[in-house]
Amino acid sequence: MLQNYLKIAWRNLKKYKFYTTINILGLSLGMFCALLIWLLVRHELSYDRVYPDYQNIYAVRTNGTYNGQVYTNIVNSSPLAEALKADVPQVAYSTKITFNRKSLITYEDRATKENGLFASDDFFDVFRFPAVEGKPSEALASIDQIVISRHLAEKYFPALPLSVKPSNSIMTKITWSGLL
Which alpha helices (H) appear in the chain, and where do they start and end? 2-15, 17-45, 79-87, 123-126, 150-156
What is the reported pLDDT for 22?
95
CA distances from 130 to 58, 80, 121, 133 (A): 20, 27, 16, 9
How far is residue 68's CA from residue 144's CA, in Å, rounded to a whole number?
41
Longest dimension (CA), the chain: 81
* Segment 108-138, tens digit of pLDDT: 777 788 888 888 888 888 888 777 777 777 7
Q: Which residues pair with 62 in a beta bridge?
A: 73
Query: pLDDT-derived band of residue 27, with 50, 70 and 90 as boundaries?
Result: very high
Q: Can you give the residue ranges of every domain in the chain?
A: 2-45, 101-179
* Segment 35-90, tens digit of pLDDT: 999 999 998 888 777 778 888 888 888 888 889 899 888 878 788 888 888 899 99
Neighbours of 177 (CB within 10 A): 20
- In this prediction, what percent of the chain has a pLDDT beyond 70? 88
What is the reported pLDDT for 131?
75
Q: Which residues pair with 69 in a beta bridge?
A: 66
pTM metric for this prediction: 0.62
What is the reported pLDDT for 174?
52
CA distances from 6 to 19, 21, 84 (A): 18, 18, 67
